C-alpha cells in the first residue's frame, strides 16, 4: 500500500508544479529527498536513562530505530567531553518519509495549542526547510502520561532540485504544509 501523500505528489502536485514552474521534465521538479529528525538531549550527560527514553520516543515517532549521537568536541562550560552521548537522530526516506510527513501535517501540527501556521522563513539557501517541535506529545503515538521528561526535536525537509527557497515554499504548500499567512 502506497502512502497517501506520495499518491498526492504523483497525481496532483507534479502536474501543478509543471504548470507553475514551466518545466516539462518531471525529474527537474522539486521533491523531498529525505526528512531528518534530530533530538538534542543535554541532560543525558547527567542521566543515561533520559537518553534511553529519548531514543524510545524518537523510534516511536519515526517508525524506525533512532541512532544515538555523540559530542564531536569538548566544551568545558557545558561540562561536555568529546564522545559523550548527547542526543539521537533518524533519517527517513521513501515510503516511511511520506507517511511521517502525512502524520506531521494532518495529525500532529494541528494539535499544537494556538497554532496559526508554521514559519515561512525557515528555509536555507538551497531550499531545505526546518521546523522545531517544542513538545513531542503532539504526536498521537507518544503517550504523554508515560513520558517522564519533556522532549523537543528538529525536523528538516531536504528538498532536491529546488531553485531556492521560493520554489521549495511553493512545493511544500502544494504538499499541504500549513504556512502562516
pTM exceeding the 0.85 threshold for the entire prediction: yes
- Structure confidence at residue 45 (pLDDT): 67
Rg of the chain (C-alpha set): 18
Q: Which residue ranges in the chain fall short of pLDDT 70?
A: 1-2, 44-45, 80
Say whether 29 sits in a helix, a strand or coil. Answer: coil
* Distance, C-alpha 26 to centroid of its chain: 24
What tens digit of pLDDT does each residue of 52-66 get? Answer: 888 899 999 998 999
Would you state the cell numbers that stand for residue 106, as one nine-digit string? Answer: 494532518
* Beta pairing class for 153-160 and 129-133: antiparallel
Q: What is the per-residue pLDDT across 15-31, written as a single tens digit (0 to 9) for each?
A: 999 998 888 898 889 99
Amino acid at each position: 500500500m502506497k502512502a497517501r501523500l506520495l499518491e498526492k505528489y504523483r497525481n496532483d502536485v507534479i502536474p501543478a508544479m509543471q504548470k507553475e514552474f514551466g518545466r516539462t521534465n518531471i525529474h527537474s521538479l522539486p521533491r523531498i529527498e529525505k526528512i531528518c529528525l534530530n533530538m538534542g538531549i543535554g541532560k543525558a550527560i547527567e542521566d543515561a536513562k533520559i537518553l534511553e527514553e529519548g531514543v524510545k520516543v524518537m523510534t516511536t515517532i519515526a517508525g524506525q530505530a533512532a541512532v544515538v549521537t555523540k559530542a564531536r568536541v569538548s566544551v568545558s562550560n557545558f561540562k561536555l567531553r568529546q564522545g559523550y552521548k548527547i542526543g539521537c537522530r533518524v533519517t527517513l526516506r521513501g515510503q516511511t518519509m511520506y507517511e511521517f510527513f502525512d502524520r506531521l501535517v494532518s495529525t500532529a501540527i494541528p494539535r499544537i495549542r494556538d497554532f496559526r501556521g508554521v514559519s515561512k522563513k525557515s528555509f536555507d539557501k538551497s531550499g531545505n526547510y526546518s521546523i522545531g517541535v517544542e513538545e513531542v506529545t503532539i504526536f498521537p503515538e507518544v503517550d504523554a502520561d508515560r513520558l517522564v521528561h519533556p522532549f523537543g526535536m528538529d525536523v528538516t525537509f531536504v528538498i532536491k532540485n529546488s531553485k531556492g527557497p521560493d520554489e521549495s515554499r511553493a512545493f511544500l504548500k502544494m504538499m499541504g504544509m500549513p504556512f502562516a499567512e
